[in-house]
Structure 1
Amino acid sequence: MDSVNASLAGAPAATGSTPWSARTARATATVHEAPDVLLVDDNDDLRMVLAMVLSRHGYRVVEAADEPSAIEALRRTRPSLVLSDLRLPVGDGLGVLRAAKDLDATLPVILITGYGAIEEAVTAVREGALDYLPKPVDHEHLVLTVSRAIEQRRIVTENLLLREALGTRHGTPTIVGDHPCLLDVLRGLRRVAPTDTTVLLGGESGTGKELFARSLHGYSDRADGPFVAINCAAIPETLLETELFGHEKGAFTGATARKPGKFEIAHGGTLFLDEIGEMPMPLQAKVLRVLQDRSFERVGSNTTLHVDVRLVAASNRDLRAAVAARAFRDDLFFRLSVFPIIVPPLRERVSDVAPLARHFIEQFAREQSKRPPYLSTSSVAALERHGWPGNVRELQNCMERAVILADGDTLHPQHLHLGTGELQSSPPPPADPWETLDFSGTLADVSRRALAEVERRKIKQTLDAVAWDQTRAASALEIPPRILLTRIREYKLSPPTPVRI
């Protein structure tokens, strides 16, 4: 059987130098149609069966029998997923994995492995494989795993496109996460950004509403203009009017010079009014006038000024309830809420907690000129269990403190101080890894996490016992020194820092 085959139902014959078998010549891909799955296995019978299973569930399949033909197929067909045997007659699944990741870092790769190669499969997962399937392959589990992987990739790809659309060209801040509810927010921002429509951002305190406002500005036609932010709750009522509208010299005691307000400063750009629900009623009337006819007067002046400003407002209060309680003007509310967007709390997008935590770890480690510590599995589980009443802001503060407290290569739950704002006088004992192990996902997922944690702990324990003599440690562990060195790098292990008094 030829090394590369296709099982793409109903497609015309392809052209090129690669020979196609009689079995699949009737069903090859067009130049513009990428197959869903690249299937790599040297066992013709197994490959045929798996291709039939996937085809019956609507997947188009291209087949290869070894690493070189798989790499050729990767470059030619650009699949949505790679399913490869770990051990091949020419090359291996790791080579296919690396080639796939070089081509597209988001391309999911699932490996098929026999019982004796589980450790190699775990290593492959650490190198970027999404998952592995033990032989004999359960067909139902195969279809479920492939379906989840392709859907996950679709979400990641859409997220990347949304981020690109939201414009890093203007220095737009990074928005981390790919939870569906976050993607809904990004879609809303993308739709409304090119317009001058007023946007009202709702959501709890700490969810990052200003970050989304900046992203909105970054992709708008005003991106080259100023972005001006003011927190209405942070400025005393007596000063807020002059902050917004400015004042003339002599307008009041202490006004020794003319001062432009935020509306003037934001001319040609975007003004972000955070916590607008805390704005006094008299000022609400003046803001409404600016929204209606783009004009106002400075405090102490009768001269009307005209501005070209897009207004984005935010509040953690229920403004509709405030209107009902006569604490907020209904006419201003209706003007502001032309395009409302609700930023979800962190507890509703738990899958984004770990990526956000790692993002903050890298950020604060860089600021502190430290090597970013590894976030242990038990720490991830603890972070995902926490309710995050302070949302992203609380997580950011937690990670900054943890990076400062970390005295090794790994952040453990005791570094996080979840549930208390005070530092403990002495750290609690390390958590039992089996009590804090993340049991989500498939059995293979749990096995992979458990094996990685046990292996890391055993290697570190052995190295510490022999004063980090790697030759002795490798001998005690009965593994080659090069494998030990690889594991040390993978787990970011380092010898304890001596305490100097």
Structure 2
Amino acid sequence: MTEMRGYLAKVARSDATVLVTGETGTGKERVASAIHALGPRAAGPLVSVNCAAIPDALFESEMFGHERGAFTGAMASFPGRFAQADRGTLFLDEIGEMAPAAQAKLLRVLEDRKVTAVGSVRPRAVDVRIVAASNQRLEELVAARQFRADLFYRLNVARIDLPPLRARPEDIAPIVDHFIAEQNSRLAMRVGRPDAALLASMRQYSWPGNVRELRNMVEALFIDAPQDRAVRLEDLPRSFRDLLASDRSAGAPERERLAEVLRETRWNKVEAARQMNWSRMTLYRKLAKYALDPEGDDQD
């Protein structure tokens, strides 16, 4: 992820339109916030819009604004999201859900850099940076004629594809450490880091909810968390323990998990047996079964 962070910083320093793609929960909104904070518009506003939540009939009013009395119920004027984001960044989340008519209107604004509020005849110039995000690949939506090709090319200037958490298990430990530190600071607690067995289980889990699911697990841990010691699998709420256990038994080889625990504990067999929830005799049988020994293992 070091390479990804370096590219993100370069993208942020430019003023280019950005398209962020990734599965739900991979952190697209955090990326948008980072791009804004690290970019030339950091002093301006960051306005976030969930495109999937805007009804087609209200798209122009929500995005471009409306004048008082422009339609029934318009008791006051509203500037619109583009005007709110002027000299800043407009984050368009789930842009793949936008209706075709709305796509055409958005494209026109991106080309002209002007909006006209509903009920007005005077266009207003807007100066915004666009960061768009989707949990779908827009190229596939274009091929299926569900997304405008010309709008896709307008958005796809700087591209950031966020890999799912299951594809980068090496990032789990630092992410967990960050979330635990964040919660410790917020709640004035002293919850420790995960032990080797719990980390091994986390790395072997598929994380369908990605980073968001991992954050939820850490937050749930703090409901009844032990303090001043390493966190163990049994410290997690049962729902999360069952998730990790079912995923591990379905796909993760026992030898691989045991080898990781042994490396993390520097071949302390008493601690390894405890973390694997085995007796020492069971541990010795498994060592013989899998032909594991300190000399043949890379302990770094």
TM-score (norm 2): 0.79
Aligned position for 2:54: 235
User: Following TM superposition, by how much is the alpha carbon of 1:376 offset from its aligned partner in structure 2, in angstroms?
Assistant: 1.7
1:415 aligns with 2:270: no
Which gives a bigger RCO, structure 1 or 2 (Cα 8 Å, sep 6+)? 2
Aligned position for 1:6: none
Q: Is the 8 A contact 1:377 1:453 kept in 2?
A: no
Give the fraction of aligned pairs with identical amino acids, expressed as a percent: 46
- Secondary structure in 1 aligned to 2:49? strand
Q: Is the 8 A contact 1:386 1:418 kept in 2?
A: no
TM-aligned CA distance change 1:329 to 1:227, over 3 Å: same
- Secondary structure in 2 aligned to 1:193? helix
Q: Is the 8 A contact 2:60 2:117 kept in 1?
A: no
Alignment of 1:443-482 (within 5 A): 445-446=263-264, 448=266, 450=268, 453=271
Q: Is the 8 A contact 1:200 1:340 kept in 2?
A: yes
User: Following TM superposition, by how much is the alpha carbon of 1:382 offset from its aligned partner in structure 2, in angstroms?
Assistant: 1.1
Aligned position for 1:41: none
- Alpha-carbon distance in structure 1 between the residues aligned to 2:7 and 2:264: 36
Aligned position for 2:283: none
- Secondary structure in 2 aligned to 1:229? strand
Match of 1:376 among 195, 198, 207: 195
1:246 aligns with 2:65: yes
Q: Is the 8 A contact 1:366 1:372 kept in 2?
A: no
Between structure 1 and structure 2, the one with the greater Rg is: 1
User: Following TM superposition, by how much is the alpha carbon of 1:230 offset from its aligned partner in structure 2, in angstroms?
Assistant: 1.2
The one-letter code matched in structure 1 to 2:25 is G
Aligned position for 2:15: 196
TM-aligned CA distance change 1:363 to 1:436, over 3 Å: farther
Deviation larger for 289-298 or 361-370: 361-370
TM-aligned CA distance change 1:417 to 1:383, over 3 Å: farther
Deviations 1:276-306 (A, max 9, x none): 0011111111211121120111122221010
User: Following TM superposition, by how much is the alpha carbon of 1:374 offset from its aligned partner in structure 2, in angstroms?
Assistant: 3.5
TM-aligned CA distance change 1:404 to 1:297, over 3 Å: same
Q: Is the 8 A contact 1:273 1:311 kept in 2?
A: yes
Aligned position for 2:173: 354
Aligned residue pairs total 264
TM-aligned CA distance change 1:283 to 1:440, over 3 Å: same
Is there any run of 5+ residues in structure 2 with no aligned partner, and where? 244-253, 276-300
TM-aligned CA distance change 1:447 to 1:210, over 3 Å: closer
TM-aligned CA distance change 1:421 to 1:228, over 3 Å: farther
- Secondary structure in 2 aligned to 1:341? strand
Aligned position for 1:439: 259
- Alpha-carbon distance in structure 2 between the residues aligned to 1:241 and 1:414: 52
Alignment of 1:98-137 (within 5 A): none
- Alpha-carbon distance in structure 2 between the residues aligned to 1:452 and 1:263: 61
Aligned position for 1:345: 164
Is there any run of 5+ residues in structure 1 with no aligned partner, and where? 1-181, 424-433, 458-501
Aligned position for 2:100: 281
TM-aligned CA distance change 1:418 to 1:188, over 3 Å: farther
1:264 aligns with 2:83: yes
Q: Is the 8 A contact 1:246 1:298 kept in 2?
A: yes
TM-aligned CA distance change 1:212 to 1:418, over 3 Å: farther
User: Following TM superposition, by how much is the alpha carbon of 1:368 offset from its aligned partner in structure 2, in angstroms?
Assistant: 2.4
Q: Report the aligned-residue RMSD.
A: 2.8
TM-score (norm 1): 0.49
1:213 aligns with 2:32: yes
Deviations 1:444-479 (A, max 9, x none): x3551636836999xxxxxxxxxxxxxxxxxxxxxx
- Alpha-carbon distance in structure 2 between the residues aligned to 1:455 and 1:440: 13
The one-letter code matched in structure 2 to 1:412 is R
TM-aligned CA distance change 1:214 to 1:418, over 3 Å: farther
- Secondary structure in 2 aligned to 1:288? helix
Aligned position for 2:112: 293
The one-letter code matched in structure 1 to 2:70 is A
The one-letter code matched in structure 2 to 1:212 is V
User: Following TM superposition, by how much is the alpha carbon of 1:422 offset from its aligned partner in structure 2, in angstroms?
Assistant: 9.1
- Secondary structure in 1 aligned to 2:188? coil
Deviations 1:392-437 (A, max 9, x none): 00000010001213245442213335876999xxxxxxxxxx9896
Whichever structure has more helix as a proportion of its residues is 2
Aligned position for 2:216: 397
- Secondary structure in 1 aligned to 2:53? coil
- Alpha-carbon distance in structure 2 between the residues aligned to 1:288 and 1:436: 51
User: Following TM superposition, by how much is the alpha carbon of 1:243 offset from its aligned partner in structure 2, in angstroms?
Assistant: 2.2
- Alpha-carbon distance in structure 2 between the residues aligned to 1:353 and 1:255: 48
- Alpha-carbon distance in structure 1 between the residues aligned to 2:25 and 2:79: 30
- Alpha-carbon distance in structure 2 between the residues aligned to 1:456 and 1:196: 53
Q: Is the 8 A contact 1:377 1:437 kept in 2?
A: no
TM-aligned CA distance change 1:421 to 1:314, over 3 Å: farther
- Alpha-carbon distance in structure 2 between the residues aligned to 1:206 and 1:269: 25
